[in-house]
Structure 1
Amino acid sequence: MQQYAGVIARYDGLVALVREEYHAWGAPHWNLPSGAVEDGETPAAGAVRELREESGLHVSADDLELVWRTQTTADGRVTSQSWNYVVDVADPGFAIDDPDGLVMEAGWFTPEDAVRRLGLMPYPPIAVPAVDYLTHGLSGRAWSFILNGDEWSW
């Protein structure tokens, strides 16, 4: 099972997004800074590392607030879990240092523009919770997504 962590980084009412190449989807998409939690790493530590690598933004794990969790299931088994946090950053300067080389750019967006861009992502387990949080601001939700063939349900 894969484990992932992501961050809604905020500065002065804006939200940081990264434009990342997704070979599986045939095009780049805007997303929250996020990625796989490495062996021996807590989800919060993974979120801090991914935020730093993909955007250059620096925060402490102690400053993160867990706002939602996601679990995906396919063929009757759990395939991934993710933890997603929100944090306010003090320094808005971007400095991408993505070891995967997939992040093309980073930018600050109004929550409404971030919702529009995230809504274009073809992967509901990422897009739906992020759009919901940015639209409604409710913390603590546990999301469950089930893949049946080519269709997602939640």
Structure 2
Amino acid sequence: MNKEDQVMMDVRHLYNKMAWINKLKMEDSLKGYQSTEVHCIEYIEKNADSNVTKLAEAFYMTRGAISKLTKKLIKKGLIESYQKVDNKKEIYFKLTEKGREVFNIHEELHQEFRERDKIIFDQVSDEQIEALLQFVNGYSQHLDREIEKLALERD
């Protein structure tokens, strides 16, 4: 197996392990909420003036799928829509008090996971982290360009 394949396989295994171990705790603490719902709540809280277009781009989903998701979150009382005084055309979303509670539980879980994994990050130098971030960012930018190409081909 070449190095590129090994990196991809190891990253996939690492992500799957992390997702599996975190999922157990997340599902227990956030019963009744799907992962996509919780991550949508997180995005709305962390990004001002979130709308369907921004959410669709962030989650690589269609605007129709995001509209369906946000309607579900509104129905559950987790988010509410609003319009700006100077822009009555666009609809934005913000968390309700109930949505903020879900957000806070999710944040506390992530802090718990960071504490659990701190032992590993403490063993890595700043230079190693910087090199890893440089690789991840470069690869992400490459994939962004590939996604743009695919979008242009479909138009």
TM-score, scaled relative to structure 2: 0.19
Q: Which has the higher helix share?
A: 2
TM-score, scaled relative to structure 1: 0.20
Q: Which has the higher strand share?
A: 1
**Structure of greater Rg:** 2
> Greater relative contact order: 1 or 2 (C-alpha under 8 angstroms, separation 6 or more)?
1
